[in-house]
Chain A
Amino acid sequence: MVAAWKAAGLSYNKYLAVAARVVRRSLKDEPRLKAERRGQFELKFAKWENGKQQESKPLSTL
């Protein structure tokens, strides 16, 4: 049996992140604000080819 999230083409980590976000959003206001801060981050990533850094792209919440 293949799980629904896998059939939809999500990776396990992505599936977990989506689930976590849903849980955070469904909390009551006060704990929600605290919890949502944990889910936020600002990353940038860049791939390297032949010793050169390529263009860097922002990587936000999944």
Chain B
Amino acid sequence: MFSRAARPVVQRAAAVSARPAPSNNYATLREIEGRLKSIRNIEKITKTMKIVASTKMNQAQRNMVQARVYGATNNKVYEEAETKPEEKGKTLFIVSSSDKGLCGGVHSSLSKAVRAKLETNPEADLCILGEKCKAQLGRSHPKNVVMSFSGVGKDVPSFAMAQSIAHEIMSLEKQYENVEVVYNHFNSPVAYEASAIDAFSEESIKASANFAAFEVDDEQLPDLREFALANSIYWGLAEGYACEIAARRNAMDNASKNAGEMINKFQILFNRTRQAVITGELVEIITGAAASAE
């Protein structure tokens, strides 16, 4: 009984060990060669993208430094006036992302920040600049989106672009008591974090403590607000663009490095397999020759 039951197992084990040990992962030479080629091509692409991002980097960073000064000057007015956002009322989040991906977690960190803000303020509306965040937030919070722009982030953002975005936002029918520009703050070429700039409404500007010192006529307030909104959007766009380029450079650098490692590994595997094949053939030939000589 026992011996008969055990036999099939023994037979199967013998069959497995009898088969010649497959050289790594059953891969044939041609398969490895194909993989190697495609990895090489990918490495070429990522390297080129890295170089492109590096050259754009300087320009983007310069532009961002300028935009930062610009935005800070704009904010100085409200700092001095001690303007505070309204306690209640409708809020609009302007999400400053861009159209292109392949730049690490830039867009998803922005989406995450916006989602966290929507948790505390579920009634808020969204205006999304750029395709990437539109796709992410449009899936999770489609009801909150009122407007989206695409074509952002092809080049260094210009003030003219920020202006026309601000213009479109101001011509929405709804009135917003608070407007916040959510963007990625550029800390260093390797670090960024999602932050927000307030763009105040007329009421909150008017209600601020020291605003009377500026002696601005009431009828000019809407203009001031529009201009401030354009400034904030410009700041957010410029900073987001610099972050994106920096992140893309890093991401592509890592990708090229990984590709290089993979190429090395596959090259070794390829050489070994080739050697094994040659050895196998030699053994066959020699055995054949020895057999026929006898």
Contacts and interface: CB of A to CB of B under 8 A. Distances in A.
A28 interface: no
Chain B interface, DSSP helix/strand/loop, else mixed: helix
Interface string B122-164: 0000000000000000100011011111111011001111011
A41 B62 CA distance: 19
A41 B149 CA distance: 12
A46 B146 CA distance: 9
A30 interface: no
B161 A41 contact: yes
Contact of B149 (A14, A38, A43, A61): A43
Contacts of A38: 158-160
Given A11-B226, A12-B222, A17-B163, A59 B146 contact: no
B158 A13 contact: no
Interface in B253-292: none
Contacts of B163: 13-14, 16-17, 62
Nearest to A56: B150
Contacts of B155: 41
B181 to A, nearest CB: 15
Interface residues of A, number: 27
A42 B148 CA distance: 14
A44 B150 contact: yes
Contact of B158 (A14, A41, A48): A41
Nearest to B172: A47
A50 B148 CA distance: 14
B152 A11 contact: no
B211 interface: no
Interface in B194-223: 219, 222-223
Chain A interface, DSSP helix/strand/loop, else mixed: mixed
B227 A52 contact: no
A19 B69 CA distance: 23
B150 A51 contact: no
Contacts of A16: 163, 227
B223 A51 contact: no
A41 B151 contact: yes
A2 to B, nearest CB: 8
A15 to B, nearest CB: 9
A13 B230 contact: yes
Nearest to B147: A47
Contacts of B152: 43
Given A11-B170, A62-B160, A44 B151 contact: yes
B166 interface: yes
Among A39, A43, A50, A62, the one with the most B-chain Cβ atoms within 10 Å of its Cβ is A43
What are the 8 A-B residue pairs with the smallest beta carbon separation, nearest first? A51-B142, A12-B223, A41-B161, A48-B145, A43-B151, A13-B163, A13-B167, A45-B149
6 contacts: A11-B226, A13-B163, A43-B149, A44-B150, A47-B147, A56-B150
Interface of B: 138, 142-143, 145-152, 154-155, 158-161, 163-168, 170-171, 219, 222-223, 226-227, 230
